[in-house]
């Protein structure tokens, strides 16, 4: 495949609760990590790039059409403040949550707590060794929820990989007490069907409800049997997390969901959800569920009710994540084309496949519908060795505007505007050049979020990046302050509920 379809400069055009005896976590200091990672926990290196494609990339770098290997480029309105390399957790960096002056960074080997009171100089407070892909992370009060979506020998943090065909194998969520940031304590675990790829919390006064997304069942897996057409809901009592338990598995797809190929070639068959985003202030949730996008009511968090469901069998391969705008009249769904392991930001793939899909929410109550308006995809084409995919992002809270910052793996970070649902546009970017030119490699930002005036990005390979946006269009967001942010549990940024 060719690298670029036109000339670019280095400016880069904008365009079930367990016994305490089984719970063990290791707090890391400066000693080297001793984890034995699961396959795929490190940056994935795939097929070799042909000599011709590698030569083409080198030529493009020489001409200034793409950044050089590990070279940083960005738009004038983006300032890169600092990069904090990985510490003793060397696995793939994943999601991020925030609370006060702390950022909680997920990693396939565990999680890290950073003090970000000075965004230009984050400090590592603690690192917890607890291997188990992908360690998606949420926080609420003194509780931290960690997802395990790799079959393990038991629920402890010293477990090892074990086949899901073995009944005693374990996957699910782990619950930590983070009241002491320097010494998080593992207090409970709940096993869930097919594990926990991601988790989304719906907090209330006494409990934290956890929506657990997982998928890919098999008749060979005793704890992950088909049909797997819903989500696990776990109830975590704030004052007694050791009593956490599974309270339901509601079916979201009574008809089985999108059948995928051969009925819909190129589309992943629906067998669960990848990620769910909730907007508690509006009792709404949006699910990115493999072959389907859904909108549902969560007024009763234990009994979600489907409002509408959509498919895109022409351009969406794998519905990956969802983001509401502040007024809850739009949803942005992302497509993880290539499963996060392929070069998809190029002319051959084009602008619609592997893009974000922007949907308006029209109507009222149970008659609301998701109506497709447009696609958005970065137009900064990447080398054939660079895995590039639409991934995790968040709103930038500006009244009257719909702005996002978003991770694109080796496509970097995009700041974009979808105020006009039909005409989204990029208004800023940050990216690094290829990690290598001779082999397809997974790297770059996994999660990129806006929090209290700064952008925090968890780079799969490079560690934590902190950036600042200097742009009149986003400047009003600097005045918005939150005490806590889990991006998949979207806050009501404006107390009056009106962002016009």
Summarised one tens digit per residue, pLDDT across range 286-298 is 999 999 999 999 9
Cα 228 → chain centroid: 22
One-character DSSP codes across 291-324: TEEEEEE-SSTTS-EEEEEE--TTT-S-EEEEEE
The pLDDT tens digits of the residues spanning 403-462 come to 999 999 999 999 999 999 999 999 999 999 999 999 999 999 999 999 999 999 999 999
Token digits of residue 59: 């030529």
The domain ranges of the chain are 20-485
The dihedral over CA atoms of 260, 261, 265, 268, expressed in degrees to the nearest 10, equals 40
Q: Give the per-residue pLDDT at 495.
A: 66
Phi first, then psi, for residue 52 (nearest 5°) are: -65, -40
pLDDT digits (tens, 9 = 90+) for 338-355: 999 999 999 999 999 999
Superfamily name with CATH number, domain 20-485: YVTN repeat-like/Quinoprotein amine dehydrogenase (2.130.10.10)
* Backbone φ, ψ for residue 133 (5° rounding): -50, 145
Residue with tokens 């060795």: 385
Number of Cβ within 10 Å of residue 460's Cβ equals 29
Span 166-183, pLDDT tens digits: 999 999 999 999 999 999
What is the value of pTM for the model shown? 0.93
Contact 433, 66 (CB under 8 A): yes
CA-CA distance, 408 to 431, in Å (whole number)? Answer: 9
**Contact assessment for residue 188 and residue 170, using Cβ atoms and an 8 Å cutoff:** no
- Give 46-85 as a DSSP string: EEEPPHHHHHHHHHHHHTTSSPPTT-EEE-TTEEEEEEE-
Spans of the chain, pLDDT less than 50: 1-10, 14-21, 29-43, 496-498, 500
**Number of alpha carbons in the 13 Å side-chain half-sphere of residue 458:** 27
By the 8 A CB rule, do 457 and 431 touch?
A: no
**Distance from C-alpha of 210 to C-alpha of 187, rounded to nearest angstrom:** 16
Neighbouring C-beta atoms of residue 7, cutoff 10 Å: 9
SS (H, E, C) 127-179: EEECCCCEEEEEEECCEEEEEEEEEECCCCCCCCECCCCCCCCEEEEEEEECC
b/e burial code for range 171-193 (CB count within 10 A of at least 16 → b): bbbbbbbbeebeebbbbbbbbbb
Q: How far apart are CA 362 and CA 281, in angstroms?
A: 18
Contacts of 240 (CB under 8 A, 6+ apart): none
Separation between Cα atoms, residue 100 and residue 83, nearest integer Å: 20
What does the pLDDT read at residue 49?
85
């Amino acid at each position: 495949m060719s690298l670029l379809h036109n000339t670019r400069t280095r400016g880069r055009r904008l365009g079930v609760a367990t016994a305490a005896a089984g719970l063990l976590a290791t707090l890391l200091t400066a000693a080297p990590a001793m984890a034995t990672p699961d396959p795929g926990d490190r940056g994935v290196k795939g097929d070799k790039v042909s000599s011709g494609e590698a030569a083409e990339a080198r030529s493009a770098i020489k001409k200034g059409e793409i950044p050089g290997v590990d070279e940083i480029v960005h738009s004038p309105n983006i300032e890169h403040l600092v990069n904090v390399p990985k510490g003793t957790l060397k696995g793939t960096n994943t999601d991020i949550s925030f609370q006060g002056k702390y950022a909680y960074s997920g990693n396939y080997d565990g999680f890290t707590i950073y003090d970000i009171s000075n965004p230009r100089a984050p400090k590592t407070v603690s690192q917890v060794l607890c291997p188990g892909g992908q360690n998606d992370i949420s926080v609420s009060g003194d509780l931290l929820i960690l997802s395990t979506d790799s079959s393990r020998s038991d629920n402890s943090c010293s477990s090892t990989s074990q086949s899901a065909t073995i009944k005693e194998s374990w996957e699910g969520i782990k619950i930590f007490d983070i009241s002491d940031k320097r010494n998080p304590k593992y207090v409970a675990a709940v096993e869930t069907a097919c594990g926990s790829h991601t988790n989304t919390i719906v907090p209330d006064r006494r409990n934290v409800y956890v929506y657990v997304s997982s998928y890919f069942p098999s008749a060979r897996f005793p704890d992950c049997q088909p049909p797997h057409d819903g989500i696990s809901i776990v109830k975590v009592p704030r004052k007694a997390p050791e009593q956490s338990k599974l309270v339901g598995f509601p079916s979201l797809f009574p008809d089985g969901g999108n059948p995928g190929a051969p009925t819909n070639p190129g589309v992943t068959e629906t067998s669960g959800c990848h990620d769910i985003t909730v907007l508690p202030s509006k009792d709404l949730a949006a699910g990115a569920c493999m072959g389907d996008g859904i909108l549902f009511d969560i007024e009763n968090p234990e009994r979600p009710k489907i409002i509408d469901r959509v498919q895109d069998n022409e351009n969406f391969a794998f519905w990956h994540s969802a983001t509401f705008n502040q007024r809850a009249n739009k949803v942005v769904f992302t497509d993880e084309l290539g499963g996060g392991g392929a070069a998809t930001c190029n002319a051959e793939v084009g602008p619609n496949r592997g893009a974000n899909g922007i949907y308006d929410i029209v109507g009222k109550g149970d008659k609301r519908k998701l109506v497709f308006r447009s696609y958005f995809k970065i137009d900064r084409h990447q080398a054939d060795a660079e895995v590039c995919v639409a991934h995790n992002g968040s709103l930038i809270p500006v009244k009257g505007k719909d702005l996002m910052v978003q991770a694109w793996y080796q496509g970097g970070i995009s700041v974009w505007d979808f105020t006009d649902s039909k005409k989204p546009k990029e208004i800023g970017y940050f990216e690094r050049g290829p990690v290598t030119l001779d082999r397809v490699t997974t790297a770059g930002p996994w999660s990129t979020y806006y929090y209290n005036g700064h952008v925090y990005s968890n780079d799969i390979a490079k560690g934590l990046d902190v950036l600042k946006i200097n742009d009149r269009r986003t400047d009003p967001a600097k005045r918005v302050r939150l005490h806590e942010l889990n991006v998949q549990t979207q806050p009501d940024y404006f107390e009056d509920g009106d962002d016009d």
